[in-house]
Structure 1
Amino acid sequence: MSEAVAYLPIDTLKPVADDVWIVDSGPLSAMGLEVPVRMTVIRLRSGAIWLHSPTTYSDRLKAEIERLGPITHLVAPNIAHWMYVKDWKQRCPGARTWAVPGLRTRAPVIKSGVVLDEDLASPPPAAWAADVEQFLITGGFGVNEAVFFHRATQTLILTDFVENLEPAKLGPIAGPLARLAGATAPDGMAPAHYRFAMNRRRDDAKAAARRLLAWTPQRVIFAHGSWYETDGTERLRHSLRWLLD
């Protein structure tokens, strides 16, 4: 099942652009579906390595990443993508952990014992402000997401604000369910539950969508499904139709 769902090879670096890589992993259980999941890796100009939405830890993957530079930042970008931060923090004790506001107070997070050092805010911290822009998208019910833009490569990094799952990889039951959620290729967008939460603060979400498009990304990486390797701005605009149409 994992080979059918995940984007092979898994748990290894795949180059995207200068100083940007992805790591495909999974499958991960989400809303009753088995879905692929993805981490993004950036080497900052300082040489520090920034991990967005860390995926399954392995010593082999850690060694592969550390050949690029020291793992310095571990980013939990929304309330769902934090589960593997603890494993990476334990093996990279010098790394700082960053999380969306409110994550540290959630019961499963407290129970897990994960250490979250810093909250993410709309202006990027000094640690990566020279390389990466960021802001927070805040919805209802505590659902929020930090979004990032790597200026040098015009790469937008999202988590669940866009999903683009391929039904053929999900199977005869999960595929139609994902299609009903509105998160399937080639017309992926945020899944239904995420749209519902964001629509509680629709004006803010709409402003955020316009801000994302104003960055005119060449490519858009997100955590689940086939990411946008080319025509990033236009494909993103289509994915945000639920806000902009």
Structure 2
Amino acid sequence: MEDSSLVSIGEDIWIIEGDIVSFYGFPYPTRSVAIRLQDGCLWIWSPVELTNQLRQGVTAIGSPTHLVSPKKLHHLYLKSWQEAVPHARLWGPASTLRKRPNLNFEPPLVDEAPSHWAGQTSNAGFEGRS
């Protein structure tokens, strides 16, 4: 049985509704995407807070193997996911790796998707000022 926060939006792809966090004093909803890759592993984009119910729902659809932080603002729940799923690989751009040196990341994401999910999702790097 899937967690109620997991919403199937197509074959092998789910939206995961997370909690609301404060972002510079404003309420900001969190949302994640889970994709079951061709090898059966799960690719989790921007992991939201991992509750027990969500963990059960996610593991019911597959094994979370790739935890992806698309930018440095999406770091809030990476540590709890990495602790709960120690075999999962943690991915992010260089800015996230600099922001969270306490976590064990794979090499920084660039425009070309890693071989683990190449051809199944696309990467696009954007540079900005912060």
Q: Same fold (TM over 0.5)?
A: yes
Question: Match for residue 117 of structure 2?
Answer: 128
Shift of the 89–47 alpha-carbon distance from structure 1 to 2, 3 Å rule, reads same
Question: Match for residue 60 of structure 1?
Answer: 53
In structure 1, stretches of 5+ residues that fail to align are 1-9, 142-245
Question: Match for residue 79 of structure 2?
Answer: 86
Q: Which has the larger radius of gyration?
A: 1
Question: Match for residue 39 of structure 1?
Answer: 32
Secondary structure of 1:118's aligned partner: coil
Note the alpha carbon deviations across 1:55-83, whole angstroms, 9 max, x for none.
00122211211111111000011010011
Q: How does 1:87-236 map to 2 (within 5 A)?
A: 87-106=80-99, 109-110=100-101, 113-141=102-130
In structure 2, stretches of 5+ residues that fail to align are none
Distance 2:24 2:104 in 1: 25
C-alpha RMSD of matched pairs (Å): 1.6
Q: What percent of counterpart residues are identical?
A: 27
Secondary structure of 1:104's aligned partner: helix
Aligned residues: 128
Please tell me whether the aligned partners of residues 11 and 56 of structure 1 are also in contact (alpha carbons under 8 angstroms).
no
Matched, 1:15 2:8: yes
Please tell me whether the aligned partners of residues 73 and 96 of structure 1 are also in contact (alpha carbons under 8 angstroms).
yes
Deviation, 1:25, is: 1.4
Deviation, 1:102, is: 2.6
TM-score after normalising by structure 2? 0.91
Distance 2:50 2:98 in 1: 24
For residue 105 of structure 1, what is the amino acid of its counterpart?
R
Deviation, 1:11, is: 6.8
Please identify which structure carries the higher helix content: 1
Secondary structure of 1:16's aligned partner: strand
Please tell me whether the aligned partners of residues 11 and 25 of structure 1 are also in contact (alpha carbons under 8 angstroms).
no
TM-score after normalising by structure 1? 0.50
